[in-house]
């Protein structure tokens, strides 16, 4: 079960000066591939955190925004990942664009987004997703699916379609500020291209090539 990659390579001279610029370039290409049916949910990323004892956990989360400041996702602040980030802000993100033989691996630190930014994003969510944010006590143990659906039904009756749903107080975003960003391009004979941006103390970025 080994794929033989023959994709075009990645050269240092082709990179943008800032890793978020390079990410934007690759993300646009992944989004085009999604339109063509090659990539499913290009904004899906694996978020890995660790608890106070260093035990890791991973889950797939949707990227909702990116800019020069980093990558933004939203969650319940009482979820496992949020609680782990409150004690250990170091986080890893992985974008697995397998059909393109590409990966982007991010190492950085997470901090909460402001409430105004959170509220602005919450207003863009579909009505059902807004209710779902209230109905789910993410990562907590529940007795049954029926309990979850009953909570949702109660909220749907309280806030029918067209009525504004308030932002849950324990729900919001995290912005991951990158400290290192690796762009991985699969190549023939397992001689993959791995180019990594590393943050410098002066605010600049150093690019280094890693052996595959």
Residue 119 CA: distances (Å) to CA of 40, 54, 162: 28, 32, 17
3-state SS, residue 24: helix
- The answer to whether the Cα torsion of 113, 114, 117, 121 is positive or negative is positive
Whether 190 is catalytic is yes
Separation CA 37–CA 206 (nearest Å): 35
Q: How many Å apart are CA 3 and CA 22, to the nearest integer?
A: 25
Q: How far apart are CA 30 and CA 84, in angstroms?
A: 30
Element (H, E) at 129: helix 127-135
Helix axis angle, 127-135 relative to 145-158, nearest 10°? 130
Catalytic residue among 190, 194, 196, 206: 190
Enter the tokens of residue 206.
């150093």
Rounded Cα distance, 83 and 66, in Å: 23
Known catalytic residues? 190
């Amino acid at each position: 079960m080994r794929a033989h990659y023959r994709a075009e390579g990645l050269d240092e001279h082709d990179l943008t000066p800032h890793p978020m610029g390079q990410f934007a370039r690759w993300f646009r290409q992944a989004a085009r591939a999604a339109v063509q049916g090659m990539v499913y949910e290009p904004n899906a990323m694996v978020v890995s955190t660790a608890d106070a004892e260093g035990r890791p956990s991973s889950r797939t989360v949707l990227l909702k925004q990116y800019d020069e400041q980093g990558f933004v996702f939203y969650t319940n602040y009482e979820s496992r990942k949020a609680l782990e980030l409150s004690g250990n802000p170091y986080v890893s993100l992985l974008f697995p664009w397998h059909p393109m033989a590409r990966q982007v691996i991010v190492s950085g630190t997470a901090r909460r987004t402001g409430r105004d930014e959170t509220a602005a994003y919450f207003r863009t969510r579909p009505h059902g997703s807004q209710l779902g944010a209230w109905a789910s006590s993410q990562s907590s143990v529940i007795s049954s699916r029926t309990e979850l659906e009953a909570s949702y039904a109660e909220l749907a009756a309280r806030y029918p379609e067209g009525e504004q749903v308030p932002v849950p107080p324990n729900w919001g975003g995290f912005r991951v500020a990158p400290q290192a960003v690796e762009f991985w391009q699969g190549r023939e004979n397992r001689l993959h291209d791995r180019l990594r941006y590393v943050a410098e103390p002066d605010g600049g970025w150093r690019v280094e090539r890693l052996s595959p």
